[in-house]
Structure 1
Amino acid sequence: MMALRRIAATAGLLAAVSLGSCSASARDPVEITVDPAVTHQVMNGWETTTRLWEYNKAEDRFDGSWVPISGQIYDKLVNELGINRVRIELKSGAENPVDYWSQFEAGKIGYKAFRRHYYEKINDDADPNHLNPAGVQFSHLDYQIEKMVLPIKQRVEANGEKLFINLNYVDFGQTELKGDISHARQPAEYAELIDAAFVHLKDKYGIVPDSLEVILEPDNSDHWRGRQIGEAIVATHARLKADGFDPQFIAPSTASAGRAPAFFDEMMAVPGVAPLISTLSYHRYDSPKPAVIKGIAESARSIGLSDGLVDRVSPVPGIAERAKENHISTAMLEHLSGDVAELFEDLTVGQVSAWQQYDIARKDIAGEPDEGGDYYVVVDANPNAPVIRMADRTRGLAQYFRYVRIGATRVDARSNDGDVKPVAFKNRDGGFVVVVNADRARNLIVGGLPPGRYLASYTTAKETGRELPPIVSNGTIKLSIPAAGILTLRSQPNTAPIRSAAGA
């Protein structure tokens, strides 16, 4: 405790000093070096949860007012932001003889009444190898597919890409009604429900999920822990394989990133799990912001403490190490207040292949700040002319999402200034993308990229996606950002017209 108090005091002193000083070297160009020969993770998508504002909690009712303008929202979600991956949620209470979602959608029950049954699991019959169709309800799954997934899929495919679909089972312990079974304690029953969902999606829509995220935030459930997750994976893989399905398995998706390694270790101890798991996933609801971690690191070093203390503050390095040891990928798949600083850390330290803030959009409420995990905010006072804008943090995320596509490989990128943070990628089409988080107005020199034609844009507090003149480069590119923000440099397709502009 004494050491932590000394760190806090020193951090405050360092912050005060840094705010009052500015060296002449800050005006010098920052050198960024890209090394395509050094490769890291392969990207597997920018994700959203299939949710808008259908749950009207304030008025205790279903709200479908977004549906008539959903096409305009999805146009922006896919083509302006760059979303190419969706999470569809299957609540454990889908195993129930009563279809509560349809009642909620029809206005027969309110949100509060519907929520009581979210995780009320009532066994379809006593045999996990025999499904009673009347005992499972997929109306909410159908709603997500028809109202959200299919139109998003259409837009992604129009861009020549494939939408990545992640089926995510949810079984929180927060509601009063629990039902008469525990999927966590009865893995064969869990496997039966998941297999039924896969068969339903294939038979009705021709959709087969690319992955199964085994359990959403098991640390917020009653019975799900690492062993139960492992047993569910083994049972479900066998059941799905028998029906011709072979999805990726994603786990443990803990709400607390710090709990992910322990859940993962316990899960991997279950015989048969290791060859089945593809992705170590986590959420960031316990993790300090990168700026806080940086202050602690600087303070710890100034008083002679090792960086091991920092590793205990941030669990992200340990997560990446677990994944590396097991030859699997990582993914940060939910944090409502996620921002570009966290994304940079997750990409470069956590080595994530996929990332999600949270859901698609919310209806604007006067005076309410952009503090939720909604990618878009919609003012629909005039349904014929809705105003659909990026939420504040989305503006910076778009500088990554829009240009770094599924299949891109992260390559090495270094800066000679620790306050300017670059990350670089090579897309499957051979084009390069370099994204730079800058702490203030900066002149940049980017080296290591192949000669060619490049485009650049930046987002600051005052401007969103401001395009710079095209650049023709022989290998070194000079450009500037006028204030703190995110700058993206990207290869220009050969088919696009270009005029010569400032560049080395």
Structure 2
Amino acid sequence: MGSCEKKRAREMGDMKRLWVLICVLFTLTQCKNTIPQPKVTLTIDPSVRYQTILGWGACTPEVKVPIPLRDQIVDVAVNLLGLTRLRYEPPSGNRSNMRRWEWLNDDDDPTHINWRAFETKALDERVSFWVVPFKRCVEARGERFNIYVSPSFFNGGSSGEVPTWLLHNPAEYAEYAISLLMRLKQVHGIIADYYCICNEAGNDNPFSPQVVARMIKVLGARLKIVGLPTRIQFPECINANTSWRYIQAVRDDAEVWRYIGAVTYHLYGKNDARPQIRNFAWAKGLPTGQTEFMRLRIDHLYDDLTLGGTSYWEIYGLAGPWSRNISIHPCKTTFTISPRLWTLSQVMRYVRPGAVRIGATSTDAQLRALAFMRNDKVTIVLINTKKPYRARTVTVKN
């Protein structure tokens, strides 16, 4: 069997396990099989409304490729996969060809930006090469582009630890963040929707809930002074349980919450607290989001949408030489899309931002269902990934 045939076989296997039905004005065309199948009733209830989908996202690629290949990857990401959002990670670490965004304190005035001290070249090259074309592609569809900035400060690894002068001085940290946001706006015409104080706070870094809270308060006030509408994305911890611990530590601090615009988590570890995060955020009128996991499958998407009530949902590592999503060939002339990513795209591509998740109840627990309404259209997602896999005859009510 050739590579194309193998790819087609994998895709057909995924298609058997997930169907996306687009129902216009609550109508559905049913296809019947001659083989007797279990009968399932799916009841749609538009009066039961949950979260609004705000964006499907991924990390901004770092790899340099020929422009024609870049354009193809962006086209696939936006028009085939349905992505509308990017996570931008600023320059970090200390390498032979690049240093972190602000390696040494630019000066002793946290309200004055000395641009000569910042790694603007690396930021400008990556943003102009990947972010700007992605933004244009999203907007060409008539949809809203969304981006957030998420710096890392791991004690080990590629990012390097946070400098002492940055960790213990919230005003200097605010300058660090403002300089990133202003560079995006002034040079590239991009206004970030959100800013995360620290990617995976508490994971191999000293960003405790108290440290993060102090920085949120100072940065939030500075954002208003400089006229940026950017909100804080919080807490963005390594898993939902750790994120919930950070939320609880500041839950009664009104000054912190006045600046927060989205409540997010990653999926590495225990995630039993997703419902608590969802309920807490919704009570404050805030959207939730899942923003990183390296082995995402359709089951993760279902759990995040239901248990986590997520409005933002992201894949990690959009494209690269070893990406699990879009894998770029070493020759940099072609790429391969993961079958797993194709399956996820069957939801992301058809459930567009602005869609509201509504009630959907299946009489068969093995056949999980999601339903969304947007512009008088209902999109129904049926997920058939629980063993034993089998065909079913589905009747949709309402």
Say whether the fold is shared (TM-score over 0.5). Answer: yes
The structure 1 residue matched to 2:354, chosen from 407, 422, 436, is 407
- What is the alpha-carbon distance in structure 1 between the residues aligned to residue 131 and residue 123 of structure 2? 10
Question: Normalised by the size of structure 1, how large is the TM-score?
Answer: 0.67
Deviations 1:104-140 (A, max 9, x none): 2xxxxxxxxx5xx558842111221222221222223
The answer on 1:330 being equivalent to 2:296 is: no
SS at match of 2:352: coil
The answer on whether the counterparts of 1:91 and 1:171 sit within 8 Å (CA) in structure 2 is: no
In structure 2, C-alpha distance between the alignment counterparts of 1:446 and 1:195, rounded to whole Å: 54
How big is the shift at 1:219?
A: 2.0
- Which residue number in structure 2 is paired with residue 248 of structure 1? 231
- Residue 133, structure 1, aligned to residue 83, structure 2: no
Alpha-carbon distance in 2 for matches of 1:171, 1:448: 51
Give the conservation status (yes or no) of the 8 Å contact 1:45–1:353.
yes
Alignment length (residue pairs): 359
Residue of structure 1 in register with 2:390 after alignment: 441
1:154 to 136, 140, 148: 136
Q: Secondary structure at the match of 2:229?
A: coil
3-state SS, counterpart of residue 325 of structure 2: strand
Cα offset for 1:408? 1.3
In the alignment, residue 42 of structure 1 is paired with which amino acid?
T
Contact kept, 8 Å, 2:262 with 2:288, in 1: the verdict is: yes
Deviation at 1:200, TM superposition (A): 1.5
Give a deviation string over 1:127-167, Cα, whole Å, max 9, x none: 21222221222223212211111111121111111211112
Tell me how far apart the structure 1 counterparts of residues 66 and 126 of structure 2 sit (CA, whole Å). Answer: 13
Which residue of structure 2 lines up, in the alignment, with residue 355 of structure 1? 313
Cα deviation, residue 91, structure 1? 4.4
Question: Structure 2 CA distance, aligned partners of 1:191 and 1:163?
Answer: 25
Query: What amino acid does structure 1 have at the position aligned with 2:61?
Result: R
- 2:305 aligned with 1:378, yes or no? no
- The answer to whether 1:398 aligns with 2:345 is yes
Contact 1:32 1:416 in 2 (8 A): yes
Q: Deviations over 1:214-247 (max 9, x none)?
A: 2210122422011222221111111111111122
**CA separation of 1:32 and 1:425: change in aligned 2, threshold 3 A:** same
1:408 and 1:175 mapped to 2: Cα distance?
39
2:190 aligned residue? 207
> Take 2:332 and 2:193, find their aligned partners in 1: how far apart are those partners?
38
Q: Structure 1 residues 446 and 267, CA, compared in 2 at 3 Å: closer, same or farther?
A: farther
Structure 2 equivalent of residue 46 of structure 1: 56
**Paired residue for 1:83?**
83
Q: Using the aligned pairs only, state the percent identity.
A: 27
Aligned residues of 1:120 and 1:178 also touching (Cα < 8 A)? no
Change in Cα spacing, 1:144 to 1:213, as seen in structure 2 (3 Å) is same
What's 1:321 paired with?
Answer: 279
Choose between structure 1 and 2 for higher RCO, CA contacts under 8 A separated by at least 6 residues: 2
Match of 1:224 among 207, 222, 225: 207
Q: Is the 8 A contact 1:169 1:213 kept in 2?
A: yes
Structure 1 gap ranges (5+): 1-25, 55-63, 94-99, 105-113, 288-312, 365-371, 450-504
| Bigger Rg, structure 1 or 2 | 1
Query: Residue type of the partner of 1:205?
Result: H
Which runs of no fewer than 5 residues in structure 2 stay unpaired? 1-35
1:115-130 to 2 correspondences below 5 Å? 118=100, 121-130=103-112
Mean CA deviation greater in 74-83 or 218-227: 218-227
Q: Does 1:37 align with 2:20?
A: no
Note if contact 1:333-1:357 (Cα within 8 Å) is conserved in structure 2.
yes
Which region of structure 1 is more displaced relative to structure 2, 230-239 or 318-327? 318-327
The partner residue of 1:344 within 288, 302, 309 is 302
2:367 corresponds in structure 1 to 420
Which residue identity lines up with residue 301 of structure 2 in the other structure? L
For 2:122, give the aligned amino acid.
Answer: H
Q: Is the 8 A contact 1:267 1:273 kept in 2?
A: yes
